[in-house]
Structure formats: C-alpha cells, structure tokens
Amino acid sequence: MSDRYQLWFKSTLFKVMPDEDADTNPGRYGKDLAYWLRGKLVAKGFVVEEIIPEDWGWCILCKRRPFRLWVGCGNVVDHNDDNKVPLATSPHSDRSIIWTCFVQAEASLLARVFRKFDTEAAVRELYDAIKSILENEPGIVLLPEP
C-alpha cells in the first residue's frame, strides 16, 4: 500500500461499535467511519457498491471493473496519548484512536497481463474527494502519519 494516498486523523465523531472487531481482527476498527464516509462519497456522486470487513479494518468498495477501486478505513492507537486506555482491554474507549483512510486500485492478474489500466486518475480523484470531506468536517483534525 502506498501511503501517498493515505490520510490520518483524530475525531470523536466515530465510535467503536460493540464487537465490530469480531468481523476484522482484535483491535481493528473503522465500521462507523466507513459508513459515515460512504454517505459523504455518495453525496459527492461516487458509486459505492458495498462495505466489507477486512482483517485490517473496513473496506468501502467503490467499483469492481475495469479494476477494483476501494477505500480502506481503519485505526491505530495513539501511543503518545497519556490518557489512553489500551483498546484490547477497553474496546469502546476510542480516545486514543488515530483513524486512517487510504485509497487503493487493483486490477486482476488477467487484466494486468492483457491490458494496461491507468488507475492513477481514479485513485487521485477519490483521494482528493476524501481529503476535502475530512478537511471540511469540523470534528476532524488531520494528522501527520504516526
């Protein structure tokens, strides 16, 4: 994954849902963020096919063809937060969460062999939209990569 199309931020807008990491991995969250962002992307005219759990968090699948275009929504723990409660012991304590969104495009193996797809423009357009959404939300503070 290229961090070139990844954003990091803090916010109290998103909650860790009870047992949501049962669908991902322990301590991997982002479901509330993914559903919130889906609504914002649809309002901007993007198509969203579905939201699916992954081992690292939640995936907003925007399209499958001619390549898969998706947004990853996940989290890390802010190890510099003196007031943090470890997520493993208190999964609903989202004070120390740093949220992240990243945009990816993937062509199938056959598509990569027989066709050349320029995914850069689609990734950049989706990334720019997400960055604008996050920058314009008063409850979100963008951060450098932790």
Q: Tokens 């690292």, residue?
A: 56
Task: Give dist(CA 70, CA 116) in Å, integer.
Answer: 19
Task: Give dist(CA 126, CA 143) in Å, integer.
Answer: 19
Mean pLDDT over the full length of the chain: 86
Q: 111 pLDDT exceeds 90? A: no
Task: Give dist(CA 34, CA 37) in Å, integer.
Answer: 5
DSSP for 20-84 reads: GGGSS-TT---HHHHHHHHHHHHHTT----EEEEETTEEEEEEE-SSSEEEEEEEEEE-TT-TT-
pLDDT band at 66 (very low <50, low <70, confident <90, very high): confident
Percentage of the chain modeled with pLDDT above 70: 79
What is residue 84's predicted lDDT score, i.e. its pLDDT? 47
